Amino acid sequence: MNKSIITDMDASDPLAKKRADFEIPAGKIYLNGNSLGPLTRAARARAQETIDQQWGQDLNASWNRHHWIDLPLTTGAKIAALMGAAPSQVVCCDSVSINLFKLLSCALQLQSDRSMVLSQRDNFPTDLYIVEGLSHLLGSSHCSLRLEDAGSLEPALDSRPAVLLLSQVNFRSAELHDISRLTQLAHENGTLVIWDLSHSVGVLPLELDKWQVDFAVGCGYKYLNGGPGAPAFLYVADRHLANISQPLSGWMGHRAPFDFQPSYDACDGIDQFLCGTPPIISMSVLDSALEVFSDVSLAQLRAKSVQLGELFLSLLGQNDSLAELQLQSPENGANRGSQLAFAHPSAYAISQALSAAGVVADFRSPDLLRFGFSPLFLSFADVWESIQILVAILADERYKDPAFKQRLKVT
């Protein structure tokens, strides 16, 4: 492919201007936004203002003056807009793991005559660990876990599980589930559905209300660019809110937390899922980072993310030296999220060699090299350059340097 074609693609990209909203380090091509989104300029400014003025000068008056107390709901409303959900159904709080514990508990309350949680064998491990932990707490007669391969999930619904727990995007392969179809099939069997949208929100068009989704969780630090350890979010369909009682009955979920009553009286709405005091600095950063989505459409984001992935595969196919990378993601862009995964025996070392050369990708055990395509800040030229660097690394085998094989604590 001629480089001039790449230049033309960037020149006609309606999202190209959004790159200026991010602080991408000079000399780096960041293909890891699917793991940790980069810093936005608005988030940097908000963090500084929150620390220097709101905390530094206004102190505890900021709970009212700067509306700290409302951040879980106002930030949740911004995320709701990215998921096709009414704002009254989303709250920003805690972590994916904690929120999943809450939602699983609620779903099992609603399904008192059932106990099985059906999930995918290669679902993100923490989702499975939470089910296991709840099973240990409640006993297997009240909560048990059944794992199936992706192709066996639909037939397994005939066993009428209490809950179907799935990630829309497989974190390893990026293979997509059809939320609408699986939710409908689950409901036909009386099964409630919890979707993990950590690799979906901010990059895939979602219609949770239209699809009649029951519950959903997701993180704030991937495509939402909320920073490391950013608060997560959860979604509960309005039809369930009056019939559930989440188990972590902390004071922020109380109807009147500042009355300091000795007994718990839960809020009626989505704020009943709050627990402890919200982490104001990190939530303020996430709230500000979400502003980058205010003038773009999810259709634009999805179209460009597919284009970026297709370009990567096309350029890869033009280089015979890259044949040793075995594609583990669906070839059809419509069937995958915004990343590509390749298997290679030296995937970790290659990821480290790429990083040393200015291309940030990531590794997933045991042998996967992942490239993420965040459409808000990546250019088509970035993809072109990353392929040139990857070709060189594999051609001269620099990844065989022992320094690139030393495993870090976080991989």
Residues with a known catalytic role: 124, 196, 221-222, 370
Hey, which residues does 359 pair with through a beta bridge? 29
**Residues 6+ away with beta carbon under 8 Å from 17:** none
Q: Which helix (H) or strand (E) holds 327?
A: strand 326-327
Q: Please name the residue that has the structure tokens 């919890």.
A: 194
Alpha-carbon gap, residue 152 to 392, rounded angstroms:
41
Q: Which helix (H) or strand (E) holds 62?
A: helix 62-65
Alpha-carbon gap, residue 31 to 373, rounded angstroms:
6
Provide the sign of the torsion angle of the four alpha carbons 21, 23, 25, 28, taken in this order. Answer: negative
**Residues 6+ away with beta carbon under 8 Å from 266:** 245, 246, 249, 253, 254, 255, 272
Q: Cα–Cα distances in Å, from 41 out to 18, 53, 225?
A: 11, 18, 11
3-state helix vs strand vs coil in the chain, percent to 5: 45, 15, 40
Q: Which helix (H) or strand (E) holds 46?
A: helix 41-49
Contact 223, 203 (CB under 8 A): yes
What the block records as the tokens of 29 is 């091509």
Q: Is cis: bond before 278, omega within 30 of 0? A: no
